[in-house]
Every structure is written in structure tokens, then in C-alpha cells.
């Protein structure tokens, strides 16, 4: 059945793929983005679809969030929000904690308040495996304690907490997706991007922080989106939370560095400063 759905951060890497999927399923979609990091070119095809509307707005501003949701709800009653808006520049959040306070937590808080005001009762939320912090074990949904090591992870964890409270107050159902490292079309940042930039600056040598043995789980955006839609379809508890990732152990930084050099057809040597962290 066709629904009216809001996607926040709609012009971002992952959210734009969600917009594509929702439109393909026949829904009417309103995308909201402040374009600090989102790109209009990610929405070229949706913008040609009469069922898609794009609104430029800053959801970190409570008044602006309330106004936008009121306008959308007046046009057609919204049944569900996919809240993807957040700061995705981790280094910017490290340099200035206000970046994640505003763009990761306050966007969530203000979205929940607007949903409460307008009776929108279902929320799908992009969380992160960064909420777990630096743990030497395989992550499960019950892994703890949760001590994030980045402002981004801390504000994602705070967002999960406020959503949990909202489920007891006014939400009918919420789905929390804890993302791994995501790669694929429209991505704007990752270790792959970093290595490419370094090699363009110096094609003879690639400095890789750490010892190259750091290992993480990576998932293609198509598989991530498929997992999220399956969770929304099958997760029927009031609060549903899932880690999303591959079954394998992931890829080492050494493997990624060697693969990028090979793909760029370079003969660069790799230099490892040492240490266990990158």
C-alpha cells in the first residue's frame, strides 16, 4: 500500500538510496536536507518523479523543523519517517563537538518533537556501530557496556536513548539500524577515498596509519538498504534494534591499500608508521 513518507538527510549517500527504493515501491516521498554534506546530484532521478518533493531545511533548528513537518503533513498525512540526517564528517565532530550535537542529536530530537506534534508514529533511524566504542569482541545487539570513543558515536547513542523514550511516549514503533562501514555509489568519505586522495598527491608512496592489520567489516550500500527494508517489514516489536553487517571478518587496511594501488595502476610503496590504530 502506498504511503506518504519523510526521509531526512535525503541528499546524503545512504538516504538517497532509500529515496530510490521508496519511490520504486510506489510511495510518495518528501526529502529534507540542509545540504551541508548532501548533494543534489544524488537525487537527479527522484527530482524527475512527481511523487518526490525536496525541501531544503535545517532540522537542528527546532522552529524550522516544526514548520517543515507542518507543511508536509498539511499536504498529505505522513505515516513514517526515515531519519537519516546526521553529521557524517567524523573528523569535524572531533574538532568541534557542537557539530555532532547539532547535526546528529538535535536533528533527532527535533524530528521526534515534530512527529509527536503531528501524530506520525513510526520511525526508522540510522544509528551506528560507533555506539559500542572500541571493544575487542564480535559485536552483538546485547554487547556492552556502551562507551563510544567519538562525539559522533556518543550522539548516535544519545539519539537511540531519546527514541527509546519516545516509544514509551508517542511512537507506535521504531527501528534502529546500527550500521557498519558502508561503501558504494555516491559515498563521499571512507578509507578508500582517503587513500585515493593521498595517492593523487603522491603517486610514489602511500602512508597508511597503524601497521596495516586493522580489520573492519564493510558492506555495500545496496545490501545495507535491503537489510533495512527487511527489518522494517519483519521487526514488529515496539522498539527494534539490529546490527547490520557481513558474516565475514572484514577487510584489513593493508588489503584495501594494496587494492587501491592496483586499481589506480600505480607502483607506490606503502609506508606504515606503526601502532595498532589508524
Q: Is 192 exposed, middle or buried (0-12, 13-18, 19+ CB in 10 A)?
A: middle
HEC string of 218-243 equals: EEEHHHHHHHHHHHHHHCCCCEEEEE
DSSP SS3 for 244:
coil
> 84 with 18: CB under 8 angstroms?
yes
Question: Within 13 A of 34's CA, how many CA atoms are on the CB side?
Answer: 15
Distance CA 177, CA 165 (A): 17
DSSP SS3 for 32:
strand
Is 152 marked active-site? yes
Choose the catalytic residue: 109, 132, 152, 218: 152
What DSSP element (H or E) covers 273?
none
Residues with a catalytic annotation lie at 152
Amino acid at each position: 500500500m502506498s504511503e506518504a513518507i519523510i526521509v531526512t538527510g535525503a541528499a546524503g549517500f545512504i538516504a538517497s538510496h532509500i529515496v530510490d527504493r521508496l519511490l520504486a515501491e510506489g510511495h510518495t516521498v518528501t526529502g529534507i536536507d540542509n545540504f551541508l554534506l548532501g548533494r543534489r546530484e544524488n537525487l537527479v532521478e527522484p527530482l524527475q518523479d512527481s511523487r518526490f518533493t525536496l525541501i531544503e531545511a535545517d532540522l537542528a533548528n527546532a522552529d524550522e523543523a516544526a514548520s517543515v513537518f507542518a507543511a508536509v503533513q498539511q499536504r498529505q498525512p505522513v505515516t513514517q519517517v526515515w531519519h537519516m540526517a546526521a553529521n557524517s564528517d567524523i573528523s569535524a565532530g572531533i574538532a568541534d563537538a557542537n557539530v555532532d550535537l547539532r547535526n546528529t542529536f538535535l536533528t533527532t530530537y527535533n524530528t521526534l518533537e515534530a512527529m509527536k506534534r503531528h501524530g506520525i508514529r513510526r520511525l526508522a533511524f540510522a544509528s551506528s556501530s560507533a555506539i559500542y566504542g572500541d571493544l575487542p569482541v564480535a559485536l552483538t545487539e546485547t554487547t556492552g557496556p556502551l562507551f563510544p570513543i567519538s562525539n559522533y558515536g556518543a550522539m548516535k547513542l544519545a539519539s537511540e536513548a531519546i527514541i527509546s523514550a519516545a516509544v514509551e511516549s508517542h511512537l507506535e514503533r521504531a527501528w534502529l539500524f546500527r550500521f557498519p562501514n558502508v561503501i558504494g555509489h555516491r559515498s563521499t568519505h571512507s578509507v578508500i577515498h582517503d587513500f585515493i586522495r593521498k595517492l593523487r598527491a603522491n603517486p610514489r608512496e602511500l602512508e597508511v596509519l597503524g601497521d596495516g592489520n586493522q580489520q573492519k567489516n564493510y558492506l555495500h550500500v545496496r545490501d545495507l538498504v535491503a537489510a533495512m527494508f527487511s527489518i522494517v517489514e519483519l521487526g514488529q516489536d515496539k522498539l527494534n534494534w539490529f546490527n547490520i553487517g557481513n558474516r565475514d571478518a572484514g577487510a584489513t587496511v593493508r588489503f584495501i591499500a594494496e587494492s587501491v594501488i592496483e586499481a589506480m595502476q600505480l607502483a607506490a610503496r606503502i609506508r606504515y608508521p606503526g601502532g595498532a590504530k589508524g
